[in-house]
Homo-oligomer: A and B are copies of this chain.
Amino acid sequence: MPEPTIVPQSSQPKLEELLRHIVKLLEKHRLVETLVERDRTSPRHELIESLVHRQHLVELQLKLRSLHPADIAYILEALPHEDRLLIWRQIEEERGGDVLLEVSDAVRDALIETLERPELLRVLEPLDADDLAELAEAVPDEVLADVSRRLPARDRDWLQTTMAYPEDRVGRLMSQDVLTVRESQTVEQVLRLLRGREDLPPNTDNLYVVDARHQLKGVLPLRALLLNDPERHVGELKSTDPVVFDANDNADDAARAFERYDLVSAPVLNERGKLIGRLTVDAVVDFIREASEEDALNRAGLRGDEDLFAPIWASARNRWLWLSVNLCTAFIASRAIGLFENTISQIVALATLMPIVAGIGGNSGNQTTALVVRGLALGEISAANKWYLAAKELGVGLMNGVVWGATVGLFAYGLYRNWQLGAVMAVAMLLNLVLAALVGVAIPLALHRLGRDPALGSSVLLTFITDGMGFFIFLGLATLFLL
């Protein structure tokens, strides 16, 4: 008997190789299509088309059939729009739903758009209530209503329950598949019950101990079933201080708890303490990753779900909100310069030097802001220490102001041999760096206080102030002391 070979199938290089293979198949398919097209006049045209044309598509279908839905999703994400749709059409209908679960929001929307209503219904058919809850945002309401009508009553109720929670709550991320036991059961009885099942839900490390009213009484680790005498009772073995979430808890806080306490799964209760679902680490990992990617894009002024290969028109519009906000702040900051056009016309060097004062102020302030945004996300900044933090950043700003003020002052002097100009430059730099430090702490704290996400918008507000005030301080000082 041949030994089974164990291959690290998951490795990124393997996936990239797979992608290259698929791209080659697509190219061959396109080439044949072009050749057949050119040959359209020949009488054998239809024969050739039916014979050759399909060859590479069949190869593609076979390849796709062997792949994990997450790997198909990776390929779809990495392909330009047209190729993506071509691949999508080669996927068997009964696997379409699993693939939709794995792709990003933007690509999911694009794929669902290509499906007629009956097709979409067939794709959603094999999914369970958990999966449907995950896709709900992307599916038109009537279709969702249609699909959920076919679910068993219990699943339909559950779908309604989970969908009632906002997107950033635990109730929306939880899954339905909890295994419950009673305190009075023995290990033996529980084992027999489990053997009666075909499989356990993924990420099952605990069973949940509930009473008749489905109130949580504790959790029974799976390992307790393996390590203990079959005669013992669940009541003696259960652990009574598990980490438990309320369905209304913030998903980000829950993710932090998973991180802190190294959880694999945790029970989710409703307001009345009833066990309604569980949160599993796979959902948490996806949540953490999506949130951090969305954050990174948001910080650069993109909607979190922009698709790398979206059509030009969609991409351009996606960027307008941010650019128009930036344009407004740039207009206003430029008016600070407009105030001093008379000064500039007398000392043109000021026009050359002013972007340096503004730019370094922005960079320095953004460092402070990034640190404060992280501290707020981790819950490390509170009323108790925010003044300490502001004082510390002010100190850093002052120290940086002295160092970099002196540097740019010397630079200006070296360039124009005018020590007054150098002094004005140095003082303006110092003042702008101190301002940047204070504003860099104040803006994220203020946004947080107002209940907004400080990661979003802190940077644009900060740059606006360090630009505008940088120009104003530098040109103002120059007007006072150099004219």
Judge whether A203 and B315 touch: CB under 8 Å: no
Residue of B nearest to A392 (CB): B312
Judge whether A226 and B243 touch: CB under 8 Å: no
Q: Quick one: which of B71, B300, B313, B351 contacts A260, CB cutoff 8 A?
A: B71
| A212 CB-CB contact with B under 8 Å | no
Size category of the A interface is: 35 or more
| Cα A253 to Cα B204 with chains together (Å) | 25
Q: Can you name 13 A-B pairs with beta carbons within 8 Å?
A: A4-B217, A12-B250, A12-B256, A16-B382, A200-B226, A285-B285, A312-B392, A312-B395, A313-B399, A316-B403, A323-B363, A334-B355, A337-B352
Judge whether B245 and A8 touch: CB under 8 Å: yes
| A364 CB-CB contact with B under 8 Å | yes
Judge whether A8 and B348 touch: CB under 8 Å: no
Q: Quick one: which of B309, B359, B369, B411 contacts A326, CB cutoff 8 A?
A: B359
Contacts of A15 in B (CB 8 A): 379
| A408 CB-CB contact with B under 8 Å | yes
| Cα A79 to Cα B379 with chains together (Å) | 11
Judge whether B20 and A382 touch: CB under 8 Å: yes
Q: A286-B259, A297-B370, A356-B330 are in contact. Are A223 and B240 (CB under 8 A)?
A: no
Pick the interface stretch among A51-59, A149-157, A383-391, A446-454. Answer: A383-391
| Cα A358 to Cα B282 with chains together (Å) | 44
Task: State which residues 197-256 of A face B: CB under 8 Å.
Answer: 197-200, 202-205, 216-218, 222-223, 225-228, 240-246, 249-250, 252-254, 256
Q: How far is the CB of A169 from chain B (nearest CB, A)?
A: 12
Judge whether A407 and B327 touch: CB under 8 Å: yes
Total identical chains = 2
Task: State which residues 326-355 of A face B: CB under 8 Å.
Answer: 326-327, 330-331, 333-335, 337-338, 341-342, 344-345, 348-355
| Cα A348 to Cα B350 with chains together (Å) | 11
Contacts of A395 in B (CB 8 A): 312, 316
| A158 CB-CB contact with B under 8 Å | no
Q: How far is the CB of A78 from chain B (nearest CB, A)?
A: 4
Judge whether B348 and A382 touch: CB under 8 Å: no
Q: How far is the CB of A325 from chain B (nearest CB, A)?
A: 9
Which among A8, A20, A322 has the highest number of chain B CB atoms within 10 Å? A8
